Homo-oligomer: A and B are copies of this chain.
Amino acid sequence: MDERQLRILRELGELGSVTAVAEALLVTPSAISQQLRLLQRAIPVPLTERQGRRLVLTDAGQALAGAAIEVETALERARHAVAEFVDRPDGEVSVAAFHSAGSAFFPLLLRGLAAPGGPRLALADADVTQDDFPPLTREYDLVLAHRLEHTPGWPRTVTATTLLREPLDVAMPVDHPLAVKRRLTPRDVADQPWITAHDGFPVVATIDAIATAAGRRLRLAHRINEFAVVAEAVAAGGGLALMPRWTMRPHPALVLKPLSGVQARRHIDALHRPERTARKAVRTVLAELHRAAGTIRGRG
Residues in chain A within 8 A of chain B (CB atoms): 1-3, 6, 43-47, 49, 59-60, 63-64, 66-68, 70-71, 73-75, 77-79, 81-82, 84-86, 138, 275, 278-279
Please report whether the interface of chain A is mostly helix, strand, loop or mixed according to DSSP. Answer: helix
Query: Which residue on chain B has the smallest CB distance to residue A1?
Result: B79
Q: A6 to chain B: which residues have CB within 8 Å?
A: 78
Q: Which residues of B contact A78 (CB under 8 A)?
A: 1, 6, 64, 67-68, 70-71
Q: Are B138 and A86 in contact (CB under 8 A)?
A: no
For residue A141, which residue of chain B has the nearest CB? B59
**Residues of the B chain whose Cβ atoms lie less than 8 Å from the Cβ of A44:** 82, 275, 278
Chain B residues with CB below 8 A from A67, complex form: 74, 77-78, 81
Q: Are B86 and A49 in contact (CB under 8 A)?
A: no
Q: Which of A6, A43, A85 has the most CB of B within 10 A?
A: A85
Taking the closest CB of chain B, its distance from the CB of A185, in whole angstroms, is: 49
Closest B residue to A42 using CB positions: B79
**Which residues does chain B contribute within 8 Å of A84, judged by CB atoms?**
63
Whether the pair A70, B64 counts as a contact (CB closer than 8 A) is no
Q: Which of B3, B60, B68 makes the CB contact (< 8 A) with A85?
A: B60
Task: Return chain B residues, CB-CB under 8 Å to A59.
Answer: 85
Q: Please give the distance in Å from A278's CB to the nearest CB on chain B.
A: 5
A43 to B85, CA, bound (A): 12
Which residues of chain B are near A71, meaning CB under 8 Å?
71, 74-75, 78
Q: A3-B75, A74-B75 given; name 17 further pairs at CB < 8 Å.
A: A1-B75, A1-B78, A3-B3, A43-B82, A44-B82, A45-B82, A45-B275, A47-B82, A59-B85, A60-B86, A60-B278, A63-B81, A63-B82, A63-B84, A64-B78, A64-B81, A67-B81
Nearest residue (CB) in B for A276 is B45
Q: Which B residues are CB-close (under 8 A) to A64?
A: 78, 81-82, 85
CB within 8 A of A138: which of B49, B74, B278? B49
Nearest-Cβ distance from residue A81 to partner chain B, whole angstroms:
4
- A35 CB → nearest B CB, Å: 15
Of A71, A79, A86, chain B has the most CB atoms within 10 Å of the CB of A71
A300 vs chain B, min Cβ distance (A):
36
Q: Tell me which residues across on chain B come within 8 A of A74, comparing CB atoms.
A: 67, 70-71, 73-75
- Nearest B residue to A273, CB-CB: B46
Given contacts A45-B278, A138-B49, contact A77 B70 (CB under 8 A): yes
Q: Is the CB of A86 within 8 A of B45?
A: yes
